[in-house]
Chains A and B, each alone.
Chain A
């Protein structure tokens, strides 16, 4: 979505009623954020909306980008937010070999997740349950972590359910929404 460098468009204040709606939407999509929501989206502080190219809206609080949204699609977290609250999102892990493809903006393919270095929900090798137990449906927003790394490198929406991935082990797994080093990451606000 942000393969090219972008520059921010018009910035406007979000009305408090809209701000409440956004807060609720965030909680509906990411229920695990509940304990931190007052820190992330304080009720009393002014949220700003920055327009980005291709009908993407970016929500910014005091200069810190929090969530972005293409038209009326799901609100997706900015990676800097993911890095602060990594456990509040559904996560998957790619193997080391897939990292450089993801960082160049390629669509994530299933083998990067199903190989031994990858992790999908319910993986027996995932003893701490970091990647969850329940399979995820297509259309679910996910955070992509990487083998041997602590921090996430991508945020996207699943094109294929994780159950399906385990079965077919090929095809497009996840649309590249936002990845480390892309236009959104390097955006100067």
Chain B
């Protein structure tokens, strides 16, 4: 087995070749069907309004127009559901107003689609959209999460409140947490905002549907991270199209970061339109639509308290969070601020008391849902900012304070005070490594050098633990999930010995086409090049819940392992027959099946051929063919963790922050392809630094999104970011999946924002400014103002 293609090798990515040659096939690149028509949406320009009337008659008569849809056309179909049912503290189920395909009765955010035109060309459809006469009576916009709770102006009149739920975690711990805080020697309090972000995958969404009347079948090509989940939502909840009549294909997808997990109304619209007009119908989002309608991320307003004894031992964390869910519940919107956030609020610490209260609030803004990290960045930011503030108040070193409270390696499995059982970790080892590779000892000299240039230099540190590998179906079912969160894989050994591996995970940058073959080739002792991955097409793969929550390797990769194990087990039987030995006497190594203690052997290829040409084959005992499927449901979450640090320079004259050094030391368990894992961390760091310093989705009080283009939304560019120092040598394998893998996709975005903010605060303090907090993004204006008001 060539060492450079197996588990642990930095195999170069095979998918790169087509992308580098411009031969990727993203949805918008698919050659147009001969009958292709275009869909364009009419979108609300007001944040909150009553639809008095929509007159489509002029639009309908315009050249090239094939059909015009309004909300009334979908009055009889279902709403796009929330995937997770949350109960409030009083036991009441959350409020779940319908999210229709097209707005009906009311528009609820700028960009909310209330009509759509299907025409021969996109230009004709656009012109016809202009001709739709919509009489929309504008109402005051509901924008502030706290004010919304006392307002009698409702986003959804039928529920009579703007509160979706008021969740307590863990409600039974509330009193003990309150008592611990009351009696504590020291309490640090911090109020903070976790800024709203726009995911901004570089490929805008695109959906294209066709309908075949002869067989009553639909095909939907769409930019999705999880085609089966999209099919399930469309079939079971929204359109009622039977799953066996709907194929969903997500070809090459240009990034997702969460925003392409969800089913969106545009997908349902093009399906309905394809049937109505009997044509292929395609919609491609432009960037402005993406800003207005892709699910946004974060947007929490939080108060956190940390109680300690006089020596700095943590006694309790208590948080109160207002989570903006936007105008409608997106599919994971209710899970993100609760079970992906509240359950992580014990962090890396042995703290005995944790209580989290989250009020989810409807506002007249785009829906908010999981974005890279999803809840865990919010948890980590709150914890690691308040810990830093506490260290300063107690006069303790921020690293020492964290170490003092870390869970120790001999305490695993560890039942956290927020209700999870961490299986493995070694936070001190991560911190040691971080101090080493970041050259923390050299910071003082670097600070001096900065100061001699008139710059303030700060050092920030951070620890995190997250829950990935989402998720044990049993557990999430108890917690309110409406789906199971296993994954599936089929390994098909073809007669000539090459393999097709069908996986439920979907790659939109993660390199699955390279990594899954590394695993299979390692297990079977065959050339990775003879193994192909098939993904993203519900007609070709068994099932799958897709890619998000850093789950592809830990969950789907485990399914690949299980399916490959089944292949080996069956192949051993076939080999046993070929070698006239019991299968229990067959040993499989390096691609050869041999009879233990003899020199008799057959190769994997010979067994494969035998399976498909079953002459002289024990047909009674063994079926011909060599293809196995496994569904893998994890026993627990996985718990990646890390120690990060960062050094910034702040220009005291302008408030401009420059990240000079950024170090990420992560425990991802066993690593399959270090090159790809490092790349995942880099990407997360870029997004995390972006959140800390640059990015903000800003609505004005009328509900207009002021940052709705790359002119106003500050995307991190190459010269905003440094080279990163990344290490994952301190992995403690996950104890419950066969790969020992934990997941790496979100780590960088979780660990970096508090690190950067901690460093900026340290820089300002070093300059004698008593600034204890600045809300992200730390723009020059905010930093300068904080310094000058301190």
Is B a genuine binding partner of A?
A: no
